[in-house]
Amino acid sequence: FMTAYTEKQYVEEMIATRRKIHQTPEEGWTEFQTTWLVAERLRALGLKVLLGTQVINPKAVMGRDPKLVEAAIKRALAAGVPQSFIDETGGYTGAVAVLETGRPGPVTAFRSDMDCVLVTESDSPDHLPTACGFSSKRPGFMHACGHDGHQAAAIGLAKFIHANAERLCGRIRFICQPAEEGSRGAYPILQAGVLDDVDMIICGHIAPELELGTAVAAPRRLLSTTKIDFEFTGRASHAGSHPQTGRNAL
């Protein structure tokens, strides 16, 4: 493979991207700043980027708090995300970029997630993000699960594949998934038809227990999960005078 960029340039750009995203962590369904950054980078490559209900089926969405979404949109606008982009999303985060090689072949998808977890980042001087000045700017929110690195890698991969598109065939789809935490984001993308014609999908996750440069591949059921909603109902009663009329939901 040939590319106009050196390995050092790829690495330096991915590090810078990861550190930028790390500073503004966003929980599931509120990742408007992250979605905008990713969409802008992928569009700069000339890729077609789909947003909102083009990639998310609202009827299949779970665990999305409208109040948190509204607050996140205000936060994104204050941070410089254009209103026109917010309008494009229709209130739903996540993006799918498409690269057409113009030659017949399979549809290959690469999936990466973008949400953070509700953790307060360490302020210890021994903590690299603190020492290097790119720690979370949002107390109580942190990219402690590596999804900032996932997006940086996805953008770097898209750039590499775009530079080598003449040597490839078929269509390549980059799925930047919101709301991975809590297993909420994948199903609405599936139900939107994004994977209907995909021949192969490659999903990855950073593994801090592995040595640098090591990759582990498993064809099925590695880090996979599903989500089921349960509802428990009961009946309140006075524990001293009429306990027999109650029903403990637990």
| Residue 231 is among the residues annotated as catalytic for this protein | no
The question of whether 197 is a catalytic residue gets the answer no
Would the pLDDT of 212 be above 90? no
Q: Cβ contacts of residue 185 below 8 Å, gap of 6+?
A: 28, 29, 94, 113, 115, 177, 178, 179
pLDDT band of 219, cuts 50, 70, 90: low
Does 157 score more than 80 pLDDT?
yes
Q: Rounded to two decimals, what is the model's pTM? A: 0.87
What CA–CA distance (Å, rounded) separates 81 from 8? 30
Contact in structure between 33 and 143 (CB atoms under 8 Å): no
Which residue of the set 27, 113, 115, 121 is catalytic?
115
Annotated catalytic residue, options 180, 196, 229, 231: 180
Q: Give the span between the Cα atoms of 96 and 1, in whole angstroms.
A: 25
pLDDT above 70: percentage of residues in the chain: 95
Over the stretch 167-193, which tens digit does the pLDDT of each residue have?
A: 999 999 999 999 999 889 999 999 999
- Cα distance between residue 198 and residue 191, in whole Å: 13
Smallest CA-to-CA distance from 82 within 127, 37, 141 is with 37
Give mean pLDDT, residues 136-142.
Answer: 97
